[in-house]
Chains A and B, each alone.
Chain A
Amino acid sequence: MIKVQNLVKTFGPKRAVDGISFSVERGEVLGFLGPNGAGKSTSMRMITGFIPPTEGSISVGGFDMVENPIPAKRLIGYLPENAPAYPDMTVYGFLSFTAEIRGLAGDARKRAVNRAVEMCFLEAVLHQSVDTLSKGYRHRTCFAQSIIHDPDVLILDEPTDGLDPNQKHEVRTLIRKMGEKKAIIFSTHILEEVDAVCSRAIIIDRGRIVANGTPQQLRQKSDWAGAVTVRVSGVSAAEAMQKLAALPSAKRAVLLKEEATSATVRIMPKPGVNGALTQNVADAVRGWRIEELHTEEGRLDEVFRSITMPDTVKGEAK
C-alpha cells in the first residue's frame, strides 16, 4: 500500500531524511522508532503529502504523492504530531467538517462521525469546544478525525503521546485491531509499544534506517539475547561463578546478587551459540538447588541504545 523509495529531505545544509526506502502492505503495522530529531516526523510529513520530498518517490495505493496527490491523500488518515484541531469548534463540528471534506455527505457523514466517536470514546465531550478539552481528549479527537473515512492507510505520529496508561492501552488496542485490515505506520519512542502493537519496526537515526525487522528479530541483536539468569542456593557464590563462567558457550558471567543462602548469576552467551547456553547452564547447575532459572529474550531498549548511540554505549561498557 505504501512504497517509499530513496526518500531525501534537506533543510538548508542539513539532511533531515537521508535516503529512506521501505514498504508497508495491508495488514501490517509498522513501528517507526528513533531518537528525537531522527527524521521520523519529517518522513511522515512527506508520506502524507504535507511537505514535498527533495528527492525520491512516495506511492500510496499506487498513486504517486507528488504527481497525483489528491487520490493518494484520499486513502490516508493522518494524525500529526501534537494532535492539532481547530480550537473554536466543538468536537462534533470538527469531526463533521473533516468528514465533509473527505467527501462524506448526509447519512453517510452522520454514520462516519458516530462510528469514530464510538471508537475513540468521545461521547462525553461531543458538544464541548476543542480548546476546553484535556490533552487526552484532544488527542483522541484528532485520532477520530484520522479514521473518520475508514482509510486504507493510517499514518500516526506519536499517537500515544501525552495519554495516561489506560488511554494508551485503548489506543494500542485500537491500532492493533485496525492493523488487521489496513496498512499502518506509527511513530513512537516508547519501546514497549513496539512489542504490543507492531508487526514490524524500523529504527531511524540521523535520517537513515539503521534497523528493520520484526520486534523479535530486533531483540535478537541485543547482547542479552539468549542470556541465562539463574538463582541457586547450597553453593558459594564464588564457586557458582567460577563454574558458570567456564562454560564453553558462555562469554562471561555476572554476579547480580549475593545473599546469605543464595546467589543470582547472569551468564552472557558467546555470539552464535543460540540455545546451547541454556542447556549448558542446566547441566552445570545439576546438584545445586535451583530457585530460579530463565532465559532472557533480549531487550529492545538496549538494542535501540546500542544502535542509535553506539559511542556512548561502548563507553559505558568499559
Chain B
Amino acid sequence: MNNIKTIAKRELLAYFASPVAYVVIVIFLLLTGFFTFMLGGFFERGEATLTSFFIWHPWLYLFLVPAVGMRLWSEERRSGTMELLLTMPITPWQAIVGKFLASWIFLAIALILTFPIGLTVNYLGSPDNGVIFGSYVGSWLLAGSYLAISCMTSAMTRNQVISFIISVVLCFLLILVGFPPVTNFLYQVLNFKPWLVEIIAAFSVMTHFDGFQKGILDSRDLIFFLSVMVFSLFTTGVIIRGHRAG
C-alpha cells in the first residue's frame, strides 16, 4: 500500500512539473464551458439540471484522457526508467495501480475544478444535487475507464503518438457501439435481432453513463466501469510481463 502511495505521489507531481497538467486542465475547462453554454444550450433549456454539461463528457474525454494517459508507460519505457522502477522492491501491480491512480486523481482534480457550474445552477434554480453528484461520480468512472485503456495502449509501445491514437480508437469504439445511429444500423444489419444488439450495446460506455446522468446509481453500471478498469489494468500487467520476458 505504501509503495502504491509513493509511486502515485511521484507520478502526480510529475504531471504538475510538466505543462501537460495545466494544458489539459485549461482545455478541459474551456471546452466544457463552450459545449455546455454554446452547443448544449444551458440557458435555453430553462431547466435547473447539468444535463447539457455532462452529456459532452464521453466526447471530451475521448481526446483528453488518452492525452493524459499516453505517457504513463511509454515514457517509462522510452527513457529506460522502467528498468529502474521494476528492479525496485515492489511488485509490477503496485507500479501499475500507483501510476493509474495518480492519473485518475489528476482527472478528478480537473473534474472538481468545474465546480462553478454546479454553483451557477444552484444559484439560478434549485436542481437535484443528488443527480448532480451521481453524474460527477459517473463522469469520473467514465474517465477512469478511458484512462485504464490508455494505460494499456501506453504499455504496448514506446511511442506516445501511437499510444494516443490506439487508445482514442478503442475508446471511440466503446462509445460507438451504444450510439443510437449505430445501434439502429446494427439492428438492421443483424436481421432485427434486438437481443444481439442489446448485448453489443451493453459494452458501450454511453449506455452505462446514461444511468448516472439520470441520477440512478445502478450496481450494473458501476460494475461495468470497474470491470473495464480491472480488465485493462490486468492486460497492462500482461503486456509489461511480456516485454520483460522478451
Contact = CB atoms under 8 A, between A and B. Distances in A.
Interface of A: 9, 11, 45, 48-52, 70-71, 73-74, 76, 78, 80-82, 84-89, 93, 97-98, 100-103, 129, 142, 145
Given A86-B14, A102-B89, A103-B89, A78 B246 contact: no
A129 B244 CA distance: 29
A78 B89 contact: no
B109 to A, nearest CB: 18
19 contacts: A49-B87, A50-B87, A51-B245, A51-B246, A52-B245, A70-B91, A76-B87, A78-B84, A82-B80, A86-B10, A88-B18, A89-B10, A89-B14, A93-B13, A97-B6, A98-B84, A101-B7, A101-B88, A145-B84
B90 A52 contact: no
Shortest beta-carbon contacts, A-B, top 9:
A84-B80, A73-B89, A74-B89, A48-B87, A88-B17, A80-B83, A84-B81, A51-B244, A100-B6
A97 B81 CA distance: 13
B79 interface: yes
Nearest to B2: A103
A78 B87 contact: yes
Contacts of B87: 48-50, 73, 76, 78, 80
B188 interface: no
Contacts of A102: 88-89
Nearest to B5: A100
A73 B79 CA distance: 21
A71 B84 CA distance: 16
Interface of B: 2-3, 6-7, 10, 13-14, 17-18, 79-81, 83-84, 86-91, 244-246
A100 B90 CA distance: 12
A101 B6 contact: yes
Which of A45, A80, A85, A101 has the most chain B CB within a 10 Å cutoff? A101
B88 A45 contact: no
Contacts of A76: 87
A51 B18 CA distance: 30
A73 B14 CA distance: 25
Nearest to A10: B246
B74 to A, nearest CB: 14
Nearest to B11: A86
A247 B10 CA distance: 72
A84 B83 contact: yes
Given A52-B244, A85-B81, A103-B2, 19 more contacts: A51-B245, A52-B245, A73-B87, A78-B87, A80-B84, A80-B87, A82-B80, A86-B10, A86-B14, A86-B79, A88-B14, A100-B6, A101-B6, A101-B7, A101-B88, A101-B90, A102-B89, A103-B89, A145-B84
A84 B79 CA distance: 6
Contacts of B6: 97, 100-101
B93 to A, nearest CB: 12
Contacts of B81: 84-86
B73 to A, nearest CB: 14
A175 B91 CA distance: 29
Contacts of B79: 84, 86-87
B80 A50 contact: no
A24 B3 CA distance: 30
A25 to B, nearest CB: 22
A97 B87 CA distance: 14
Contacts of B14: 86, 88-89
A88 to B, nearest CB: 4
A74 B88 CA distance: 7
Contacts of B246: 9, 11, 51
Contacts of B245: 51-52
A87 B246 CA distance: 26
Given A101-B3, A101-B6, A45 B13 contact: no
Nearest to B88: A101
Contacts of B7: 101
A21 to B, nearest CB: 21
Nearest to B15: A88
A129 B18 CA distance: 11
Contacts of A82: 80
A97 B10 contact: yes
A103 B3 CA distance: 8
A206 to B, nearest CB: 17
Contacts of B13: 89, 93
Nearest to B95: A101
Contacts of B10: 86, 89, 97
Give the one of A73, A84, A103 with max B CB within 10 A.
A84
Contacts of A85: 81, 84
A274 B89 CA distance: 50
Nearest to A84: B80
B47 to A, nearest CB: 44
Contacts of A129: 17
A73 B88 contact: yes
Contacts of B18: 88
Contacts of A51: 244-246
A98 B204 CA distance: 41
B81 to A, nearest CB: 5
